[in-house]
Amino acid sequence: MDQPTRIHVAVRLRPRLPSEAQDSLAVIASHDQIQLVSTPKARRLTSYKFDRVFTPEDTNSTVYETFLRPLVAHALRGTHATVLAYGQTGTGKTFTMLGRDLWGLCAHGEDDQDDITLRETTEDPMQRGLMYFVAQELLQAKQGPVRCSYLELYNEKVFDLTRDDKSPLDLREDAIHGVFLPALQVRPLHSVDTLTDILWRGAKARACRATNMNERSSRSHTILQLHVDSTDGATTTINLVDLAGSEKCKKLSSRDQDIKELKFINQSLSTLGQCISALMKRDKLHGGPLGIAVGSVHVPYRNSKLTRLLQPSLGGGGLCSFIVTLNPCKSSAQETLSTLQFATRAMKVSVSCEPCLDSRRETQRQVSKSTFNNNSSSSSASSNDIVAQLRAENKKLAQALEMERQQKRKLLLGFTSLLSGEYAKGGSKEAAQEGDDGDNGRLSEDVLAKLSTLEVSMQSQLQGIQATKDALTSQATTALQSNWDEYIDDTTGFKYFHNSQTGETRWTKPST
């Protein structure tokens, strides 16, 4: 796995169980090829080539040493990595990731004949899982403190398997952290015994339910996150994902809870497949994760919480590998064919093996820097236009206010002139006293009526001026808030939005 540029895929066949003794084999395995002997729809030999194929005789230790160890070596050099176990229910995904003992917890009962067969067909009766081997490698490297978190996705809700509180966690997203879980606990990992304890408690808490295909079927996805802190302050993360198995409704019981679980499982796995297909199309059109044109290919990460959490891994932000597990029997040939087709598509998705940045805050800083370096001319022109527009509107508002002051001054002068003229008509004080009382009453009413009319006119003008002021203020605010430009950072390949007026940079465009 020297300088990988795409998703790597290994296929693992589980042994045929005693309950399947009468079922013929549909799969033939070699060093790097899988041959599907027949399917219900096409009775012909079909070959698929992968990075590695593991037979039922290969142990978990062999899978780690020959397939995953190079990936962990890249992670120790600062590259994020993700490993996903994918396959039909009952094909050994949890057995591969957790190991035999932790896998057996889902049964909560005594060993059955199939379990005994699995132990007898391997050289290592303990069969520790890949999670154990990866953590052991990170601890032995002594590159820095190792921390871990363990979460479960069940019916599109996220739970922390290390907490006694079983309330679902909120999934949030911002420009600095991306998609994250604020309440998810991250625990220090001092030894593999600490990890075993965490996995043990998590396996007991994980949602497992017997199905017609697998008495120990996991009905949820789990993600073990191992974080390695280096001396320079950077943190590298390895995600180890145990996906729930796909299953058809006709092979499931009619219980409402079973059907509900199956609906969410198949929905999330279907979204994963859609994302893989979209990423494959992206790479075919643009030659890799960093060459994508803005908005040209939509990847439906948001259709499932599983793909939202895995978006950085699937989208080219680190290394990614699949371990695809298969049932070798003819009765599962159609499901095996679908699994092989998914794995073939996944191998066509590009990844990046560049060392990760110190943090998303550093990413945001680099994004802001590249924004001003690469787009200074266009941003400057846009800024000048908006500033000129705001200055013109401000001048217009100042003129309206000055007009208001002049009108007030004119009205006051009119009041004074009006009152002086009315009283001057009366002549001397004596003559005024001899005047007719009715005329004086009419004079007072006329003056009050004129004053009332002038007051109404002033109020109307003031309301018009205030409306103009509010409209100009709203236009100025809208102009500032809507000035978001969309970019692709040359270094990271991330899409982001920058407001040249406010100086803000965000990963998602704010609503206006």
Could you tell me what percentage of the chain is helix, strand and coil, using 3-state DSSP and rounding each to the nearest 5? 50, 20, 35
The strand ranges marked E within 144-186 are: 146-154, 157-160, 172-174, 178-180
pLDDT, greater one: 463 or 436: 463
Do 79 and 319 touch, CB atoms closer than 8 A?
Answer: yes
**pLDDT of 39 strictly over 70:** no
Binding site listing: 87-94
Residue finishing a domain among 305, 330, 356: 356
pLDDT tens readout for residues 69-110:
999 999 999 999 999 999 998 899 999 999 887 755 554 444
Same domain, 305 and 161: yes
Same domain, 116 and 254: yes
pLDDT tens readout for residues 371-418:
444 454 444 455 566 667 777 777 777 777 777 777 777 776 766 666
Position 135 in a domain: yes
* Domain count across the chain: 2
Position 348 in a domain: yes
Average of pLDDT values for 37-61?
83
Q: What is the DSSP string of 209-255?
A: ---SS-TT-B-SEEEEEEEEE-TTS-EEEEEEEEPPPB--GGGS---
Do 144 and 231 touch, CB atoms closer than 8 A?
Answer: yes
Tokens in use for 318?
């680190």
Q: Which domain holds residue 491?
A: 371-426+439-506
Return the number of other C-beta atoms located less than 10 Å from residue 24's C-beta. Answer: 13
Position 21 in a domain: yes
| Residue that has been written with the tokens 């989208």 in this structure | 315
Same domain, 224 and 341: yes
Same domain, 346 and 397: no
Return phi, psi of residue 78, to 5°: 105, 15
Position 406 in a domain: yes
- Using alpha carbons only, give the angle 70, 98, 177 rounded to the nearest 5 degrees: 65
Same domain, 229 and 266: yes
**pLDDT of 356 strictly over 90:** no
CATH number of the domain that 122 lies in?
Answer: 3.40.850.10
Residue finishing a domain among 356, 388, 415: 356
Binding site listing for ATP: 87-94
Which of 382, 380, 225 lies closest to 312, judged by CA? 225
Tokens in use for 340?
């092989």
Same domain, 352 and 378: no
pLDDT score at 416: 66
Do 128 and 166 touch, CB atoms closer than 8 A?
Answer: no
Beta bridge partners of 85: 242, 323
Can you tell me the distance from the alpha carbon of 342 to that of 272, in angstroms, rounded to the nearest whole number?
10
Residue finishing a domain among 305, 326, 356: 356
Do 82 and 238 touch, CB atoms closer than 8 A?
Answer: yes
Same domain, 376 and 332: no
DSSP single-letter state for residue 331: G
Specify the pTM: 0.67
Can you tell me the distance from the alpha carbon of 222 to that of 242, in angstroms, rounded to the nearest whole number?
5
Same domain, 329 and 416: no
pLDDT tens readout for residues 460-485:
777 777 777 677 666 666 665 566 77
pLDDT score at 218: 73
Same domain, 479 and 339: no
Tokens in use for 166?
């079983």
Can you tell me the distance from the alpha carbon of 292 to that of 284, in angstroms, rounded to the nearest whole number?
10
pLDDT score at 283: 84
pLDDT score at 282: 86
- Can you say whether the dihedral through the CA atoms of 95, 99, 103, 109 is positive or negative? positive
**pLDDT of 337 strictly over 60:** yes
Same domain, 384 and 352: no
DSSP single-letter state for residue 156: T
Rg (CA), the chain: 36
Position 366 in a domain: no
Same domain, 419 and 454: yes
Can you tell me the distance from the alpha carbon of 341 to that of 41, in angstroms, rounded to the nearest whole number?
15
**pLDDT of 122 strictly over 70:** no
* Least confident range of 122-126, 228-232, 274-278, 385-389: 122-126
Beta bridge partners of 506: 497
Which of 81, 92, 115 lies closest to 4, judged by CA? 81
Return the number of other C-beta atoms located less than 10 Å from residue 500's C-beta. Answer: 20
Position 432 in a domain: no
Q: 433 by DSSP, 3-state: which?
A: helix
Same domain, 322 and 380: no
